[in-house]
Amino acid sequence: MAVITYKEAVRQAMQEEMRRDETVFLMGEDVGIYGGAFGVSLGMLDEFGEERVRDTPISEAAISGAAAGAAVTGMRPIAEIMFSDFITIAMDSLVNQAAKMRYMFGGKAKVPMVLRLPGGSGTGAAAQHSQSLENWLVHVPGLKVVMATTPYDVKGLLKTAVRDDNPVVFIETKTCYNRKGEVPEGEYTIPFGVADIKRQGKDVTILATGIMVHRSLEAAELLAKEGIDVEVIDPRTLVPFDKETLVKSVIKTGKLIIVHEACKRGGFGGEVAAEVMDSEAFDYLDAPIKRVAGKNVPIPYCMELEKSAVPQIDDIVKAVREIV
């Protein structure tokens, strides 16, 4: 096992897939000479050249549309949208073309494209560069949505995404880029639709996404000192979603808290809560399901205000104490 950063794991996954399959290529704004806005693709231009590491114009519509076209004609593009906020500009080609092609052509067409989206707050990048819009994408039939939070998970899931014959939206948490973790030196992939129990517990279940997985784990350690045993689950893929693992955990603990950075209104937490209420876990609930999520406001530029707009460790601890 090697200890590397999250962004190094992303780079390794792309490099390994591009060496394995000549139809795989990378495209996006500043991914070549500059190495990407967050340094994720540094050095890849030197290895693979301009044909396979392509700097694009500043047009997310062009990036998404070209990726869909390349995918349906036999290539496997990895397209980077510099900030997930700009998926708004790419939505037509992603939602109305890429997500629909396999269905509209009766399964005869394949659309093996990956759209990488660095997302989330925590960098002082203000309202237009800090949003968490994953639930917009979860709502679209035909898209798979991945949200990995550790170097091990992000590498294994990205390799799976590249090999998938469907469009995959791959959300990378910006505040995880420099986090380190163990990653196998050999070949491995992680299947979609399999959640990971990051911490076993018996008193309350937390299902968290993105940076909230790490904050939930830190909260769980604080609560353990009070005798409260928290189980933390990372779904890793939002579509497909591993409902079975969550239901088993809720049956065991009798309590559920869903934690995500995105605004509470219309967020993924509401969908998860509905899934649990519509399952056999309902009869085992000892308390109402709680959601700890971002406030329904634009992300402020001021770092202190930014912290107040999204859940922090103390918010998670407070929610657990209330439900227990």
Token digits of residue 247 = 């239901």
How far does CA 204 lie from the centroid of its chain?
A: 23
Question: Which residue, 157, 149, 238, is CA-closest to 191?
Answer: 157
Annotated catalytic residue 139: no
Question: Residues of 292-305 as b/e, b for ≥16 C-beta within 10 angstroms?
Answer: bbbeeeebbeeeee
Distance between CA atoms of residues 74 and 147, nearest Å? 26
Angle at alpha carbon of residue 28, lines to 163 and 189, rounded to 5°: 25
Question: Which residue, 133, 182, 132, 135, is CA-closest to 155?
Answer: 182
Kindly name the residue from 129, 139, 214, 260 that is annotated as catalytic: 129
Active site residues: 129
